[in-house]
A and B are shown apart, each in its own frame.
Chain A
């Protein structure tokens, strides 16, 4: 299983779309979401033509699936899952 670090994930997302859409299951959350300084904000653009989407596939196993173009990869990254869950206002599952 490939591993995707938070830093490389953000890098891929930025490179692929310029405005990455991160979709965890429910609507994205409340306030600041972590130690790296992510803050809640309003979208500055519409959905990009080819959105990059990441969703938590299995929180317990720390699995995140990323789709971009016609590609799809699933990574195990517990820290990223934790951050996404926090952004979604959900505790660890």
Chain B
């Protein structure tokens, strides 16, 4: 949800709306990396009778750059198809769904997974637009779980979800289906003129300070999850142990694409597609398109690739609008930020190049000088198993954002404080941060039951019978 409804075009197309990307060394299987990419945001759990699902007409892609050129070296592609068993009923299910092949489950979804290793021709890699959906098929007819409906229809939901975890012969593990949305934010407040309820007494339009409210805590999401052995992702096939080695850093992002042309008949059949896949949504770092890119460029940003972020999009990072708004909306709170006019080299490193060696002792996730929005994961940093800190790297937990992103990382607080100037001294020692930079929060946090300790790590989706509670 860090990129839910973030651009005018994709806000009209939820099944292709890439809402969050997570990438981390699997805490229970540290020889692997898990990548999650979420779609169909803001799902009310009671959304029947046609419950939420992936788009059969959408190409979902996960990209991995392992040599720092901001072009994909490995691409995983997922394509779905929906099957209806009984067209003579209006029901999603005609009885309890107790297995993935239950005859009571009327509207099922399956998917295929393909992999493209693009080392390129004559040393020149293709951009993903040219890959046109053709790769080595790793698995097909893989079942999704149903949506979580309620105690009568999906009485043992966790068993259904577990059965939908597929171990592929090629070594990857995959899952695609509904989950609890792990992202948390006071959405209603932050888009009410950037109000942070715990600090709103200091806002230009003040209200009494109050705890944060997380509207996402009762909502679901659709997740594509893949767990891949690290040796299958690094450029040299190694499992790096030195965090300072360039080999240990992966650039990761995801996207959704639609066919260039859709032809709709007047007979009620689904539209037919023609032409190449055209990207309509992408996501690397959380909140990049949502709060960095200006509204007139958001749809274009979704359509292009990370390699295209140099230039105009880079300038949005160097001079972020939010950093200019904070001193205006919170008068007197950010005097040093208001006076800082230099380009934001700290944000440029965090979001566009990775953090080079020498900034954070013993850590780097630098992918080279090409500015590109990607999650950057240093796979040589082991997962923090004992009390991981949701504030991640800036709080001394190097296994968390912006070293990749874990499901519980508080990316709103991290990015908010970074934009407010917390990270400027890392690259510009002449700057003294404002007292508020470092303590800003929207008042929300990772709640209980939102996550699980094993793949796919996002928790059981809310069922529509119990949610909302009354």
Contact = CB atoms under 8 A, between A and B. Distances in A.
A14 interface: no
A48 interface: yes
Interface stretch (A33-41, A65-73, A84-92): A65-73
Contacts of A52: 274
Contacts of B269: 46-47
A46 B261 CA distance: 16
A51 interface: yes
Contact of B263 (A47, A69, A70): A47
B274 A68 contact: yes
Contact of A70 (B265, B267, B276): B276
B275 A53 contact: yes
A67 B132 CA distance: 13
A35 to B, nearest CB: 28
Central interface residue in A23, A47, A52, by most chain B CB within 10 Å: A47
Given A67-B275, A71-B275, A71-B276, A23 B260 contact: no
Interface in A20-52: 21, 23, 46-52
Nearest to B264: A47
A48 B267 CA distance: 12
Contacts of B117: none
Contact of A47 (B132, B133, B265): B265
A50 B269 CA distance: 13
A68 B276 CA distance: 8
Nearest to A43: B265
Given A46-B265, A47-B263, A72 B272 contact: no
Contact of A53 (B132, B264, B267, B274): B274
Most chain A beta-carbon contacts within 10 A, residue among B132, B259, B264, B275: B275
Contact of A21 (B260, B263, B273): B263
A92 to B, nearest CB: 24
Nearest to A21: B263
A53 B274 CA distance: 7
B253 interface: no
Interface string B124-144: 000000001110000000000
Interface residues of B, number: 17
A53 B261 CA distance: 8
Contacts of A51: 261, 263, 272, 274
Is chain A's binding surface mostly helix, strand, loop or mixed? loop
B277 interface: yes
A21 B261 CA distance: 12
A47 B269 CA distance: 9
B272 A70 contact: no
Nearest to B269: A46
B233 to A, nearest CB: 27
Given A51-B272, A53-B275, A70 B132 contact: yes
A23 B274 CA distance: 12
B276 to A, nearest CB: 5
B344 to A, nearest CB: 39
A51 B263 CA distance: 8
Given A47-B269, A49-B272, A70 B277 contact: yes
Interface in B213-261: 259-261
B263 A53 contact: yes
Contacts of B265: 46-47
A2 B267 CA distance: 36
B299 to A, nearest CB: 20
Interchain residue pairs A-B with the least CB separation, the first 4: A67-B275, A70-B132, A67-B274, A47-B265
24 contacts: A46-B267, A46-B269, A47-B264, A47-B269, A50-B273, A50-B274, A51-B263, A52-B274, A53-B274, A53-B275, A55-B261, A67-B274, A68-B274, A68-B275, A69-B274, A70-B132, A70-B259, A70-B275, A70-B276, A71-B132, A71-B276, A72-B260, A72-B275, A72-B276
Given A46-B269, A67-B274, A71-B132, 20 more contacts: A21-B263, A47-B265, A47-B269, A47-B272, A48-B272, A50-B272, A51-B261, A53-B263, A53-B274, A55-B261, A67-B276, A68-B274, A69-B274, A70-B134, A70-B259, A70-B276, A70-B277, A72-B260, A72-B275, A72-B276
Interface of A: 21, 23, 46-53, 55, 67-72
Interface of B: 132-134, 259-261, 263-265, 267, 269, 272-277
